[in-house]
Amino acid sequence: MRLVCFERKEGKTRLGALRDDSVIDLQAAAGAGGLPAEAFADMPSFLSAGEPALYQAQKLIHAVRQDAVTPLSAVVLRAPVPHPGKIIAVGLNYRDHSIESGAKEPPKTPMIFAKFTTSITGPGDAIVIPAGDPQVDYEAELGVVIGRKGKGISATNALQHVAGYMPLNDVSARAWQFADKQWVRGKSCDTFCPTGPYLTTREDVPDPHSLSICARVNGTTLQDSNTSKMIFRVPELIEFISASITLEPGDIIATGTPEGVGVFRTPPILLKPGDVVEVEIQGLGVLRNPVVAAPAFCV
């Protein structure tokens, strides 16, 4: 199932599911029976409702009232998880990217860092180059969305805590990232975490570690790899993170990027206003974002 957050003309964000070229408004479709419609009001409510909500949504897709169906062309898609509780990112999780970055050896344990949740933006939204750091880079990543609360989760049971997967772009302001010696500021600028276009639920991704992943800038492929090349796979990451941090429904794990980022190319290829960045993951869709300059004055 492919879950979306979408807006019609009235501007209110709704939770939906894609079916062919249409969006099903899950709250409108819920009607009587099963869980209350409030469980489908938004993504946090849906994820918190757990497996019963997932099961009911699957039934709604196949037996839905026509007034709950809208053509995809008539809506605007937003970030699938607009307000995650946490964004936990993983650095140097592909061996080839570790090598291109100049690391003497790959990390022996996951390198995690935070991206502030205000960096979230959706498909089609602009990546804004901040005035103070024009050295802005793309990073194609597999985003993992947590669906069940847990602490001290074992790798054996870790995937049971996953709601689904989506493309994610870990946009980075390299001058700030490298100058600070820690990565939060350079990774957390507004608009620096595009996600989408939809969240593919776990049952429709039999193996998240066998997916082609690529990044394109203006149609030119600059990253071309496979999630099989991760050093630490999703279950290991969940086990490592949850040993110290409680994972909650809606939290996002950005699992790292493969080789081919712009800053380590010769010459470097950094994002500039007018560019269009695409992150594509096999079976999970294409996340497309234009790049713009920061406005002259900010309030």
Mean pLDDT, the chain, rounded, equals 94
Which one, of 257, 12, 5, 3, lies nearest residue 139 by Cα? 257
Is 72 inside a domain boundary? yes
The pLDDT of residue 257 is 98
Is 299 inside a domain boundary? no
Same domain (yes/no): 69, 198: no
Is 170 inside a domain boundary? yes
Q: Which of 78, 106, 121 is the last residue of a domain?
A: 78
Alpha-carbon gap, residue 116 to 273, rounded angstroms: 23
Same domain (yes/no): 20, 97: no
The pLDDT of residue 177 is 94
Range 17-32 average pLDDT: 89
Residue 231 burial (C-beta neighbours within 10 Å; 0-12, 13-18, 19+): buried
Cis peptide before 267 (omega within 30 of 0): yes
Q: What is the CATH number of the domain that holds 95?
A: 3.90.850.10
**Domain range enclosing 65:** 2-78
Q: What is the CATH number of the domain that holds 37?
A: 2.30.30.230
* pLDDT exceeds cutoff 70 at 273: yes
Q: Roughly how many angstroms between the first and final C-alpha of the chain, as a whole number?
A: 40
Is 298 inside a domain boundary? no
Tell me the pTM.
0.96
Range 131-156 average pLDDT: 96
Is 113 inside a domain boundary? yes
Same domain (yes/no): 105, 218: yes
Same domain (yes/no): 121, 7: no
**Angle formed at CA 143 by CA 180 and CA 49, multiple of 5 degrees:** 120
pLDDT tens-digit series, residues 89-104: 999 999 999 989 888 8
Same domain (yes/no): 28, 91: no
pLDDT tens-digit series, residues 195-222: 999 999 999 999 999 999 999 999 999 9
Is 185 inside a domain boundary? yes
* Alpha carbon separation from 219 to 103, 148, 214, 222, 278 (Å, rounded): 30, 37, 11, 9, 8
Number of folded domains in the chain? Answer: 2
Range 45-49 average pLDDT: 94
The pLDDT of residue 47 is 95
The pLDDT of residue 67 is 79
* pLDDT exceeds cutoff 80 at 65: no
Same domain (yes/no): 98, 236: yes
Same domain (yes/no): 48, 96: no
Which one, of 244, 30, 281, 248, lies nearest residue 167 by Cα? 281
The pLDDT of residue 36 is 85
Better-scored residue on pLDDT, 299 or 265:
265
